[in-house]
Amino acid sequence: MIETLESLRVATAKALGHLDEPHLEADLLIGHVLDLTRSQMWARHDQSVTCEHQQAVWNLIEKRRRGVPAAYLIGKKGFWDNDFYVTPETLIPRPETELLVETILARSDNEARSVVDLGTGSGAIAISLAKARPQWHVIATDCMPGAIEIAQQNANQVGNIDWLIADWLTAFRQGCFDIIVANPPYIDETDPHLDDLVYEPRSALVSGNGGFADLNEIMTSAKSALKPNGYLIVEHGFNQQTAVENGLRKAGLYTQALKDLSGQPRAVIATLGA
């Protein structure tokens, strides 16, 4: 019979031993049930845990073992410097997508800017940028009304974002953005990795034309939506960079390729001039 927080942590990590980071995942689930941070759990390791709480943790373990992502079980995921609510209607924001936020902030000054985040999902990119640059006007779009609702909840007190249900850039006039950022669906529908992603919305992951349909649409329409000194930054799959650079050059843009923190080709910046 498990009695203390520490023994529950050990048993949970063991039950999740097939995952990459069983101790971290165990602490996420237990912390969610007991409403404790990791450091609070360490400090209270010999505290006893009620049967109800133990049962609630085991219910989550069972779902996690069936493959439900931890972020959906606890309802949130950390991205940049905030936690974001996520539901099965929103993609779980990935650490590699922080490259887009990091690159945009590193390239920016304090001038007012007009920015659009295409396919905002949980709002992770738009909200991170809007919070870091209160003088910017950010428009966050998605084709899924449910995603926009969650993103609006995540925005809470952030006032410099407008929300729009829209199909990529079709709603916008020419030459209106300093920065266009997009992390579109880019996985080919036959990619075997999709077997591990069944709980996330297919509309956020899969794109036709071998994974390029949405990338192509954004690449061909970005040039006319940019202001003269503006740029597009777009995330893509690790094996899509050459094709994305070629597509952007064909659309009349100059490109710069970027790698993510694990060294994978992950994004391209495209400008009107070299």
Return all residues near 211 (Cβ < 8 A) that are at least 6 apart.
185, 186, 187, 188, 191, 237, 240
- Residue pair 187/237 in contact (Cβ under 8 Å)? The answer is yes
> Residue 268 — φ and ψ, nearest 5°?
-135, 140
Contacts (CB under 6 A) with ligand SAM, residues 122-141: 122, 124-125, 141
203 binds ligand SAM (CB under 6 A): yes
- Residue pair 124/102 in contact (Cβ under 8 Å)? The answer is no
119 binds ligand SAM (CB under 6 A): yes
Of these, 12, 15, 26, 97, which contacts ligand SAM (CB under 6 A)?
Answer: 97
Look at the alpha carbons of 17, 97, 157, 202 in this order and tell me if their dihedral is positive or negative.
Answer: negative
Of these, 16, 178, 185, 222, which contacts ligand SAM (CB under 6 A)?
Answer: 185
d(CA 239, CA 234): 14
- In terms of CB distance, is 34 or 144 closer to ligand SAM? 144
| Shortest-Cβ-distance residue relative to ligand SAM | 119
Contacts (CB under 6 A) with ligand SAM, residues 57-76: none
Of these, 204, 251, 253, 268, which contacts ligand SAM (CB under 6 A)?
Answer: 204
Give the position of tokens 């509309």. 203
For residues 219-257, one letter each, b for 16 or more C-beta atoms within 10 angstroms of the residue's C-beta and e for the rest, the string is bbbbbebbeeebbbbbbbbeebbebbbebbeebebebee
Query: What is the smallest separation between the CB atom of 83 and ligand SAM, expressed in angstroms?
Result: 14
Q: In the stretch 212-251, what mask flags binding to ligand SAM with x, by CB under 6 A?
A: --x-------------------------------------
User: Site residues (CB under 6 A) for ligand SAM?
Assistant: 91, 93, 97, 118-122, 124-125, 141-144, 147, 167-168, 183-185, 203-204, 214
